[in-house]
Amino acid sequence: MSTSSTIELAAKDLNPQGGVFCPNPKADMKLWNSHPRVFLDVARTGQARCPYCGTVYALKAGEVVAHGH
């Protein structure tokens, strides 16, 4: 099943490693259409696509991810 939607994220929405998990509440996914939880590295390129549902998680224009820990 492919949702083909794009979820815009602020830098503060990313975890300390620069990513998000899918399924994600921001994608308004219901329990019945969930898939295994996967980590997606958004900080590396500014966006990432879920291999299960096709949802794209992308940083909003102008958002900057702080590098270095």
Is the predicted pLDDT of residue 2 greater than 70, yes or no? no
How confident is the model at residue 60, as a pLDDT?
94
Pair type for strands 19-22 and 38-41: antiparallel
Q: For the segment 22-33, what is each residue's pLDDT rounded down to a tens digit? A: 998 888 877 666
- Are 3 and 53 a contacting pair, CB within 8 Å? yes
pLDDT tens for residues 3-60? 468 999 999 999 999 999 999 888 887 766 678 999 999 999 999 999 999 999 999 9
